Structure 1
Amino acid sequence: MNSDTNEGKWKQIKGEFKEKFGQLTDNEKTEAQGSFDKLVGEIQEKYGESKEAIQKEVRSW
């Protein structure tokens, strides 16, 4: 894949994330960047879903 294709896929993933988890603030998303567990924890706190369900959802992206 070339960089344009990768960039397009990344934008799609970010858009899906924003649609599903729009209650998270930009600061929370930035703080969680690079830390899968922290991201899952932030989502779990906001939405009350199980850790396993969130991990499965995020990994499916």
Structure 2
Amino acid sequence: MNEDILKGKWKQLKGDIQKKWGKLTDDDLDQIDGNREKFVGRIQENYGIAKEEADSMLDEFERDHSH
């Protein structure tokens, strides 16, 4: 899913995002606002994982939601 699609579907995906990444707050999601790099950064910060792992998690989420 490219960033334009992520940004366009952001409001629809927020509920699923909070289910998967419960440590992300509403404020986090408002600040991310569909920006993939910010999203990866917040996953890294909140879960204490490497950028590559956060990227991989987001890639998997995007594949699952690209219908």
Structure with greater Cα Rg: 1
Structure 1 runs (4+) greater than 6 angstroms displaced: none
Question: Which structure has the higher relative contact order (CA within 8 Å, separation 6+)?
Answer: 2
Normalised to the residue count of structure 2, the TM-score between the two structures is 0.61
Q: Distance in 2 between matches of 1:56 and 1:39?
A: 12
Deviation at 1:20, TM superposition (A): 2.4
Alignment of 1:36 onto 2:42? no
For 1:1-61, what aligned pairs fall within 5 Å after superposition? Answer: 14-15=15-16, 17-61=17-61
Q: Aligned-pair RMSD on alpha carbons?
A: 2.1
The one-letter code matched in structure 2 to 1:24 is: L
Task: Give me the whole-angstrom Cα distance separating, in 2, the residues matched to 1:19 and 1:47.
Answer: 14
Report Cα offsets for 1:4-37 as digits up to 9, x if no partner: xxx8xx55x842x222211111111111012111
